[in-house]
Chain A
Amino acid sequence: MDTSPAGLSPIERATLRFRRIYILPTRQGIGFAVALSVMLLGSINYDNALGYVLSFLLIAAALISMLHAVRNLAGIDLRWGECEPVFAGDTARFPLKVDNRGQRPRFGLLARLAGRRGRSGEANPPRRFHLDAGGLERIELAAVAPERGWFSPGAIVVATRFPFGFFRAWSRVDAGLRCLVYPRPAGEQAMPLHQPEACGEHGSRGKGDDEFSGLRDYHPGDSARRVHWKAVARGQGVPVKVFSGAASGSTWLRWQDVVAGDTEARLSQMSRWVNEAQAQRRTCVTAWCCRASRSPRTRARRTVTAASKRWLCSTARPPAMRAHPETRDWTLGRERSLWLSICLALVVIPHAGRIPFWELACFAFLAGWRVANATRGVPLPPKWLVIALSAVMLAAIYAAHGTFFGRDTGVVLLVVLTGMKLMESRSLRDAYVLSALGYFLVITNFLYSQSILTGIYMLAVVLLMTATLIGFNVGSGELDTRARLRMAAAMLMQAAPIMLVLFFLFPRLPGPLWSLPRDAHGAMSGLSERMSPGLISRLSLSDAVAFRVTFRGEAPPPSQLYWRGPVMWHTDGREWTSGNPTRSWRAQYVELHGEPVDYTITLEPHQQSRLFALEVPTTIPRGAQMTQDFQLRTPKPVRTRQRYEVRSFPEARLTRVSIDEQSAALALPAGVHPRARALADSWREAHGVDAGALVSRALAYFREQPFVYTLTPPLLENDTVDEFLFETRSGFCEHYASGFAVLMRAAGIPARIVTGYQGGELNPLGDYLIVRQRDAHAWVEVWLGERGWVRVDPTGAVSPNRIELGMDAAIPPTLGPAGLELPSRGRLWQTWRRLRLGIDAVKTGWNEWVLGYGPRRQRQLLGMFGVDSADVRGLVTGMLAGIGGLLALLALGLARRRPAPVDPALRIYRRFCRKLARAGVARRASEGPLAFAARVTAHRPQLRSAVERITGMYVALRYADSDARVSEFRRAVRAFRPR
């Protein structure tokens, strides 16, 4: 067992235990904490859900890295040996044996001696190493011996920054190391070659071991073995035997021979002589015949005595100076800069469409330079060039954007500066800055897109960046790429539960903390306050989701699904615009009929102060207002996804109209649509003032004339309505609505156009309705006296399918994924449609629980767990408790020894044994399968065949060279029922 190497006699040992390991954040850790809090603040301000997720994930990972750092040290065994004597000013090397008893490797370890060197206070150089599982490392700790005497280099410190470098865990072991330091050899005096006689009686005979040459009196300090005990017994005093030997070559070095200087100089001179004598392979004797004048420092003499004694005894040369071993690895290095460049490039790539091309090219150029430096050794630019380049770029950015603020400019700035930093980075400190910048850039991506795909992509990037971070803290070659990635993935997975606790319990503050830049949100298309020909047909090309609806009860039939949006009052003959009906709605304007419908709408941001609802809404969401024409308005544009609940009565009647409104609903610009007016006049003559008959007549006109419902109507040049009604006769809902409205107004019936959405696609996977931009629609409301405003949909007269079955039925979409043309209603199309519905269901969950998670959802979630009222304090307490609990659990899990992977056959066999144990026959751990089976059959003869069969299979699987199947064995054990 005891196999100590030469030069290492393990006199003492210590194990690094948990309670002796200390941990504190490093400078990088504090810097990263600052970066993290900025990231979190940004996420709060922009209410960016993925920003929250990333910030919390990183916080959790950083917390967990603490556990990993401690675990990386715990259980390491240290054994230290004796140090070879050195000369003052030389480096003393203390041998240390570091033994990893655990089953997992230890990375990025540093060991050094705690004492400081001389007066300069420079720390002793650390030694960097790592340990394989169960591995053993022999290292030497170096410290410069300052002066002669016994030199204590201080405690042994073993430290690690693994895995992220945010925390430094260390342990001190007071090993009581010491090293004998000889005086520094110096002096110019030549070595005297003394005659032995010169030193009185001691020199009269050469001392040796070979031949007995006489007796002399005992002096204190003589060896007991040299005492002539027989003479002692005879009462002749205490004589000591003196031996003579080959003493002729011995050199006498005497204190009084040194002429120069003070005690120290003389000691140095003697030390040098001893060295020379040894080099000439002479036996040397230092002598103290004539005592030096009482030295002020008795220690000096003791040391020299000890030194000369050692030299006399051993011919081992003092250790030669050696080059320092590798110390702390603070350089960036080739591999690390490559990793960093790749990560940063990956994080910048999604910005490609968002920031100007030349700025992206700048970044690519800078990153490319770095990569070229790492792979080809292209030199990095000098500092002045970096500064000049930065200035030029800043100027260029300012010139291009006119500001340094705002989302887009901020991102550009960040990207370009990251590129500059990447290029000028030389040390590991810069690398930490870069990785923080990298995480920052991830968040900037979330400002533009928070889709699931972005999330997944960025998760992969974060994984890579975390692996890079791990790479900063292990030496090259300690962990290969796969192991790093696996470790990063494991750490992120361990961080996930803590991240979830933080995400769900972190107190969510409504509203931004400071005003957002104007371009904080992307532009969206949708219905607006004006309707020009072609607007809705353009929208109909878009598959973008307008909103999603969850009905509380049964969904109404498709023909009732009219989602009311902007109402158009005014027309200039070509374009319709909504008026400004400021007066708000009152309950008495509505006669309620039929059953109410309750539902929740999740509205995608559309940048307008408007909510959509099913006709006719009665209870409206808080904060919204309803106008007299039943539009729901919000005080601020809808910039984020909103959820609101509405109750509507689809069969209600709108029974009031003011004089102003009536006149507005009858107005037609002068001199336009002569043919339409003529037609309306002719009807009016036929039917008089019977409004109902006029409406039917107009609808009949659409039905009877060859009107075509199409997305691609011919271009209308002059009088759009007349050309549509009498010439082209093909159009989209907006054409029909405006044509109908004009006819009605010309016939003297108040009419207005309502835009919005009609229908929607029911997603059976989530049991909700998706309303897309392609469902945009326009219809008409006419005032029929006592019946109030009545909805008339002329499109329905032309294409009933559009209303009954939805847009897809009327004009089948044929564009599949990636613009692929798919035959409509084909199987492929159906598959694509189903897939799209599935994806949308996932998206809805994502929207609701990730992106839309806010104060309201938080309350709802807490309510689900029975917590009805939770203030910020309660939330924080719960959050901290949750994190603490999870960390404790994780610490326990990490401290547990990792079990070896178990052969599936063995696992199943153990199950079999457990079954038998419950039945009363327990297998002893050292009992072989056959012996156990024999014992079982002896106790339970009725089980014989089953037990023999199972044992046979187990033996065949585990011990024999057979291709037996585990599955069969598993089935047999599953079916095995002892008792």
Chain B
Amino acid sequence: MSAFRLPTTRPAASPLGAKLSGIVARAGDVILGKDREIRLAVTCLMARGHLLIEDIPGVGKTTLAHVLARILGLSFQRVQFTSDLLPADILGISVYDRRAGSFEFHPGPIFTNLVLADEVNRATPKTQSALLEAMEERQVSQDRVTRDLPDPFFVIATQNPDHNVGTFPLPESQLDRFLMRITLGYPDAKSERALLTGCDRRELVEALEPALEVAELLDIQKQVQKVHVSDALLDYLQDLIAATRSEPDLGPGLSPRAGLALLRCSQAWAFMEDRRHVLPEDVQAVLPSVVNHRLRQATASTDALLRQVPIP
């Protein structure tokens, strides 16, 4: 889909756009054959959203999170979620300091730019909700003190599909906090061969250099919001949302928040494509990732949806 570029409307290639392309390319060197997924992941972060990666163990979920943290030059913490993990383990805890004679707050691993919440569905709902609340508010309230999380703040959560034993599946309301959900899937034969013959992924990750300043990242996030959205495109977007609401297979349909998320992701995708306006193709590119975890029975139906709803 991205193979084709417009000759006439293409603006002068912006340095930020070029950098983003570079980031995707370099991440692609580590995670082989997953260019599209990497692109989606970066899009999600550029749209100031949290990312949920869902797949079976061992397809590179954690590696992807690692790669993104390194390459974007963000401070990084990893929390392995288990069933006995407590909210304080993530958010931090106030400890009595005998010398000072007062309670002192010890920030948890969440006080960082990028949190990798590994296997988020293994923790109890209580712990999950502590994380998700922090994700939504971008701040942590404890002991009647509200502490802001650093900016930018991203959560990349990974989870195994629900049917695996010993998990607490995230309820719909909490899934909604994630802007996108992507799946990685198996690599194709060629990539897998390269993977098998190549060197250790861990070393490659270690070797990655940050490609983006934090300030640049914030700048991109601002610019993404300015990507032009025409009335014609909004018509299409609304048609799509209306279609999910009338389709009985898809459950209750998309919420207005989901519509907003779709718009933001489309803008970010368009920005990644080095455009300053959103096209229907952008919406189509991000729609399954944005929408699937918000609908009951999605995967097959969203493709059908994209085929059925005409572009006005």
Contacts and interface: CB of A to CB of B under 8 A. Distances in A.
Interface in A923-941: 924-931, 933-934, 937
Contact of A930 (B6, B276, B307): B6
Interface string B1-21: 101101111000000000000
B273 to A, nearest CB: 9
**Which among A934, A948, A955 has the highest number of chain B CB atoms within 10 Å?**
A955
Interface in B278-295: 278-281, 284
Nearest to A948: B7
Given A928-B281, A955-B279, A961-B276, A934 B3 contact: yes
B277 interface: yes
A820 to B, nearest CB: 52
A927 B311 contact: yes
Which of B233, B278, B279, B307 neighbours the largest number of chain A CB atoms within 10 Å of its CB? B279
A931 B1 contact: yes
Given A958-B230, A958-B232, A948 B277 contact: no
Contact of A959 (B1, B4, B7, B232): B232
Contacts of B284: 926, 928, 931
B279 A961 contact: no
B198 interface: no
Interface string B222-237: 0000001010110000
A925 B7 CA distance: 24
B197 interface: no
A951 interface: yes
A64 interface: no
Given A906-B232, A931-B1, A952-B9, A959 B310 contact: no
B311 A903 contact: no
B232 A961 contact: no
Chief secondary structure at chain A's binding surface = helix
Contact of B281 (A931, A949, A960): A931
A636 to B, nearest CB: 69
Contacts of B211: none
Given A930-B6, A931-B1, A933-B4, A961 B308 contact: no
Contact of B277 (A926, A928, A951, A959): A959
Contact of B6 (A906, A925, A951): A951
A948 B8 contact: yes
A926 B307 contact: yes
Contact of A955 (B6, B306, B309): B6
Nearest to B308: A926
A959 B278 contact: yes
A953 interface: yes
Interface residues of A, number: 26
A956 interface: yes
Interface in A887-944: 903, 906, 924-931, 933-934, 937
A906 B232 CA distance: 9
Contacts of A1: 245
Given A948-B6, A948-B8, A961 B230 contact: yes
Contact of B311 (A926, A937, A952): A926
A13 B277 CA distance: 45
B279 A903 contact: no
Contact of B8 (A906, A930, A956): A956
Nearest to A929: B279
Contacts of B308: 926
Nearest to B11: A960
Nearest to A924: B307
Contacts of A958: 230, 232
B279 A952 contact: no
Contacts of A953: 8
B182 to A, nearest CB: 21
A930 B281 contact: yes
A687 to B, nearest CB: 97
Contacts of B306: 926
A960 B230 contact: yes
Nearest to A956: B9
A948 B306 CA distance: 24
Contacts of B9: 952, 955-956, 960, 962
A924 B245 CA distance: 23
Contacts of B232: 903, 906, 958-959
B277 A960 contact: yes
A811 B289 CA distance: 90
A507 to B, nearest CB: 52
Interface string A143-158: 0000000000000000
A956 B6 CA distance: 10
B280 A929 contact: yes
Given A925-B310, A926-B309, A928-B284, A961 B277 contact: yes
Contacts of B278: 959
Determine which residue in A924, A928, A929, A948 has the highest number of CB atoms from chain B within 10 A of its CB, and name it.
Answer: A928
Contacts of B1: 930-931, 934
Contacts of B279: 928-930, 955, 959
Nearest to B229: A959
Interface string A754-774: 000000000000000000000
Interface in B248-290: 276-281, 284
Interface string B135-178: 00000000000000000000000000000000000000000000
Contacts of A951: 6
Contacts of B311: 925-928
A319 B243 CA distance: 41
Nearest to B230: A959
A901 to B, nearest CB: 12
A931 B5 CA distance: 10
Contacts of B6: 930, 948, 951-952, 955
Contacts of B281: 928-931
Nearest to B248: A1
Interface string A417-442: 00000000000000000000000000
Contacts of A928: 279-281, 284, 311
Interface string B300-312: 0000001111111
A955 B273 CA distance: 14
A447 to B, nearest CB: 55
A620 to B, nearest CB: 71
B153 to A, nearest CB: 30
Contacts of A933: 4
B18 to A, nearest CB: 20
B169 to A, nearest CB: 27
B64 to A, nearest CB: 27
A655 B197 CA distance: 129
A332 to B, nearest CB: 44
B276 A959 contact: no
A946 to B, nearest CB: 11
A900 B84 CA distance: 58
A929 B310 CA distance: 12
A905 B9 CA distance: 16
Given A928-B311, A948-B8, A955-B9, A961 B228 contact: yes
Nearest to A945: B7
A99 to B, nearest CB: 16
A934 B4 contact: yes
Contact of A952 (B7, B276, B280): B7
Contact of A960 (B4, B7, B276, B310): B276
Given A928-B311, A931-B284, 10 more contacts: A1-B245, A906-B232, A906-B312, A924-B307, A929-B280, A937-B4, A952-B6, A959-B228, A960-B9, A962-B9
21 contacts: A924-B307, A926-B306, A926-B310, A928-B284, A928-B311, A930-B4, A930-B6, A930-B281, A934-B3, A948-B7, A949-B8, A952-B6, A956-B8, A958-B230, A959-B279, A959-B280, A960-B230, A960-B276, A960-B277, A961-B230, A961-B276
Interface of B: 1, 3-4, 6-9, 228, 230, 232-233, 245, 276-281, 284, 306-312
- Give me the 8 closest cross-chain CB pairs, A-B, nearest first: A952-B8, A925-B310, A961-B228, A928-B281, A928-B280, A960-B277, A934-B4, A959-B230
